[in-house]
Amino acid sequence: METVSAFTLEVRPDNIAVITIDAPGEKMNTLKAEFASEVRGIIRQIRDNKELRGAVFISAKSG
């Protein structure tokens, strides 16, 4: 079984982290318990990057 991440992390040139949520096969993005380890990993990456000025979560789904 292949695991596909629902999250991508991009650091913009202005040192803002943009976390995009795109849950595969879902009409709407929601934070589910099964995403907990991924979210912890992303937050750890953000916390460890001392150059970041902020972070935002956005949805890749329209509407």
Per-residue pLDDT tens over the stretch 2-36: 556 899 999 999 999 999 999 988 999 988 898 99
| Residue 2 included in any domain | no
Looking up residue 48, the CATH number of its domain turns out to be: 3.30.300
**How many C-beta neighbours within 10 Å does residue 51 have?**
6
State residue 22's pLDDT score: 95
Q: Tell me the CA distances in angstroms from 29 to 4, 24, 54, 58, one per residue in order.
A: 14, 9, 22, 10
Domain interval for residue 18: 7-59
Does 32 fall in a domain?
Answer: yes
| Count of domains observed in the chain | 1
Residue 59 in this model has a pLDDT that exceeds 60: yes
| Cβ atoms of 9 and 47 closer than 8 Å | no
Q: Is the pLDDT of residue 44 over 50?
A: yes
Look at residue 19 and tell me if it is in a domain: yes
What is residue 4's predicted lDDT score, i.e. its pLDDT? Answer: 65
